[in-house]
Amino acid sequence: MSRPRVIAVAPSSPAERAGVVAGDEIIAINGEVPRDVIAYRMLVDAADPLLEIDRGGLTVEVVVAKREGEALGAEVNSALFDQVRTCDNHCEFCFIYQLPPGMRKSLYLKDDDYRLSFLYGNFTTLTRFTEIDLERVITEGLSPLHVSIHATNPVVRVDMLRNRRGATSLRWLRALLDHGVEVHGQVVVCPGINDGAVLDDTLAGVLDEYPELASLCIVPLGISRFSNEPRMRAHTVDEAATVVDLVDHWQQTYLDVLGHRLVFAADEYYLLADRPFPHADTYEGFPMHEDGIGMARTFERELRGEVDEATGPQAGFFAWVDGAPAEGYRAPRTADTGCGVGLANPAADTGYRATRTTESAPLVIGPPRNAPIAILTGPLGAKVLRPLIDGLGRPDVRIVEVSNDYFGGNVGVTGLMVGDDLARTLADQPAGHRYLLPDVCLSQGRFLDGTTPADLPRPVEVVATDGLALRAALGLDQPHRSPLEVG
């Protein structure tokens, strides 16, 4: 078991006034050893907590003078101080099994930890969930949680998880709902396995057994070129259209019976089926925005200036590993790439229920603000962005689509763009232009392949992955002058 290590102390905070410094390792708080950032936050919320600290091999005790509930002001290095609860399923569609060799070790770790479900929105199958876990979730109010359902038929679920406990583990979902825990569900659809009649049966089973679910997202499986599972394949256009039609049918059924639509199809299905995205009102507040549900509609509204705040966080893939904020994906990103427009550093202690408040720092190196602009995005993002950018009437703004050769397969989401593919693409692009890079593909300034924006052949400006941040980067609220009008 590791110790929480202080990596930043907020100026003028109680922690700073008490003499807590970066590098301090916290042995105990009020005599209790925290096992994760959840316990840490609860312990430091107390008035005048006593910190037992290891400082360079010396043990010191520090009493932090503060009110109950006042932020301590010390950011720690990790979300979990004990061991991550790893996944013992062997799902054919698991993307971890499809990673290329040579990536950093942390990316190959499969978790099935309810704490990471609470902190980062990771989905848990509940196959390793216990009575003790249930008690903690209830008593500490660890809500919402995110549960992978995949199929309500126990035989199909065992087959998909390749774990016999898959047949019974959804009993914990029923227990969570019985105790009022907010749960968001997920079904990863694998063609020929849990689509069609099986998916229809699953949606009926949810209505019958788990109608209290807050929402249910239907997402397609991702397949990289490294997959060695013969049953796994990408959806056809007709299969994607069938999923869209089935979700539409069940939305109406849920609306009639439960009073809300409950189930939503991922944006990717509408792109695959060449169908228009549903109206924004259909998403009922976008409860699963960070899982790719309704992102296109929210981005459209934000880019057009129809809303004042971004809809919600985009955690990206592998959001909890390495440089992820220990407070969870709802906390601000902490990385400043130092290359183009970075991201503002957050306050040191935002709380694990904090809302992401990323802002673009006004530091620009490289091309001037009036230079032609290129927006870097994946193939799926390009399908969403092109019509929006075309509608702006800005000939100086273009989309640069980055194909994902690193992962290959049907991987086309922006969050999985890596430095190697970006470098190859940018090498063919003109110098002197502004290249906007969405932050969702970065974790503490690094791409998944370990490279950084500084390794790219063109300077890039890292902007938050929402329409408001792009709107600001494009200067849509300011009078626009083309490069020909300047000078």
Average pLDDT over residues 36-49: 95
Using CA atoms of 442, 448, 449, 452 in order, give the dihedral in degrees to the nearest 10.
10
Same domain, 158 and 241: yes
- Higher pLDDT residue, 317 or 227? 227
Distance CA 415, CA 440 (A): 5
The answer as to whether 377 is a domain residue is yes
User: How far is the C-alpha of 258 from the C-alpha of 287, rounded, in Å?
Assistant: 16
Residue 350 has pLDDT above 70, yes or no: no
Note whether 67 and 99 are same-domain residues: no
Q: Is residue 300 part of a domain?
A: no
19 lies in which domain range? 6-76
Ranges 43-52, 99-108, 144-153, 185-194: which has the least confidence: 99-108
Mean pLDDT of 476-481: 67
Q: For strands 434-438 and 460-463, give the pairing.
A: parallel
Q: Which of the two residues, 323 and 425, has the higher pLDDT score?
A: 425
User: Based on the domain organization, do 175 and 250 belong to the same domain?
Assistant: yes
Q: Which among 41, 76, 111 is the end of a domain?
A: 76
Same domain, 142 and 229: yes
Q: Over pLDDT 90: what percentage of the chain?
A: 77
- Does the pLDDT value for residue 266 go beyond 70? yes
- Residue 314 is predicted with a pLDDT of 53
The answer to the question of residue 14 being in a domain is yes
Residue 298 lies in a domain: no
Position 116 pLDDT exceeds 50: yes
Q: Residue for token digits 């390792």? A: 25
Q: What's residue 399's pLDDT?
A: 97
Closest CA to 412 of 235, 229, 215, 246: 235
Q: Is residue 316 part of a domain?
A: no
pLDDT at 482: 47
Shared domain for 72 and 99, answered yes or no, is no
Rounded distance between C-alpha atoms, residue 117 and residue 328, angstroms? 10
The total domain count for the chain is 3
CATH (domain of 60): 2.30.42.10
The pLDDT of residue 343 is above 90: no
Q: Say which residue the tokens 């009022």 belong to.
A: 180
Of 239, 274, 293, which residue is a domain's last?
A: 293
Residue 18 lies in a domain: yes
pLDDT tens digits along 297-334: 999 999 999 988 888 655 544 554 444 455 554 444 43
Q: Are residues 119 and 206 in the same domain?
A: yes
DSSP labels for 350-365? --TTPPP---B-S---
154 lies in the same domain as 255: yes
Higher pLDDT residue, 352 or 7?
A: 7
What CATH number does the domain containing 185 carry?
A: 3.80.30
Domain boundary among 293, 308, 339: 293
Using the predicted structure, report yes or no on whether residue 238 has a pLDDT greater than 90.
yes
Average pLDDT over residues 282-295: 89
Average pLDDT over residues 104-113: 86
**In a domain? residue 302:** no
> Is the model more confident about 47 or about 309?
47
Judged by DSSP in three states, 381 sits in: helix
Mean confidence (pLDDT) of the chain? 88
Residue 23: is its pLDDT beyond 80? Answer: yes
* Residue 198 sits in the same domain as residue 246: yes
pLDDT one-digit tens code per residue, 62-90? 999 999 999 999 999 989 999 889 999 99
C-beta of residue 66 within 8 angstroms of C-beta of residue 29: no
211 is a domain residue: yes
Quick one: pLDDT at residue 312?
64
For residue 356, what pLDDT is reported? 32
**Do 259 and 375 belong to one domain?**
no
267 and 413 share a domain?
no
61 & 160 share domain: no
Residue 105 has pLDDT above 60, yes or no: yes
**Residue 159 confidence class, pLDDT cut points 50, 70, 90:** very high
What is this structure's pTM? 0.85
Confidence at residue 187, expressed as pLDDT on a 0 to 100 scale: 98
Taking residues 129-152, what's their average pLDDT? Answer: 96
- Given a cut of 60, is residue 397 above it in pLDDT? yes
Task: Say yes or no: 101 and 212 in one domain.
Answer: yes
Residue that wins the pLDDT comparison between 317 and 137 = 137
pLDDT of residue 313: 56
